[in-house]
Amino acid sequence: MFGLASVILLEAPLLVCDKCGEIEYPGDMMNAVERALAFHMLGLADLEPQAVRFLRKFLGLTQPELAEKLGCSRPTIARWEQEEGDGISGVDSAALRALVASLRFSDDPRAAEILRSLMPARRSPEPRKYELPMGSAAFA
């Protein structure tokens, strides 16, 4: 479902055709599920390749468009999405999750809190001290 390996909908209402047995989800439920999955992924530090692809498609972007927004190359995005790959973590993951939060969840205060948690801690306003031993080999 949505290109992800395992999505389980607990207690989801289903419509089942009496004649053919085809299963259908009512109304706009799949859009709500897609949005809930994306929101859940905002809180994950590491994103698997399927999750990276899911979030890109959730944004409605091509690989080149996402690369432009994140300031990287299309091959980088392709590498992140490769099934055999490790996905992304660290700054790359935070950048993608921040983009999703700002473009698709800007009206949600819970997303604003997640965005704040992605920002690095502020440094002390004290100036940094550099101590250089002038008698060291670096000055010889």
pTM higher than 0.85, yes or no? no
Residue 110, CA distances (Å) to 21, 32, 49, 79 in order = 39, 16, 25, 30
Number of domains within the chain: 1
**Considering the domain boundaries, does residue 131 fall inside one?**
no
Q: In which residue ranges of the chain is pLDDT below 70?
A: 1-3, 119-140
**Considering the domain boundaries, does residue 66 fall inside one?**
yes
**Considering the domain boundaries, does residue 20 fall inside one?**
no
HEC string for 7-36:
CCCCCCCCEECCCCCCEECCCCHHHHHHHH
**Considering the domain boundaries, does residue 61 fall inside one?**
yes
Predicted local confidence at residue 125, as pLDDT: 63
Beta pairing partners, 88 = 47
Type of residue found at 69: K
Predicted local confidence at residue 126, as pLDDT: 66
**Considering the domain boundaries, does residue 130 fall inside one?**
no
Q: Which domain holds residue 98?
A: 47-118
We report the CATH number of the domain holding residue 61 as 1.10.260.40
**Considering the domain boundaries, does residue 33 fall inside one?**
no
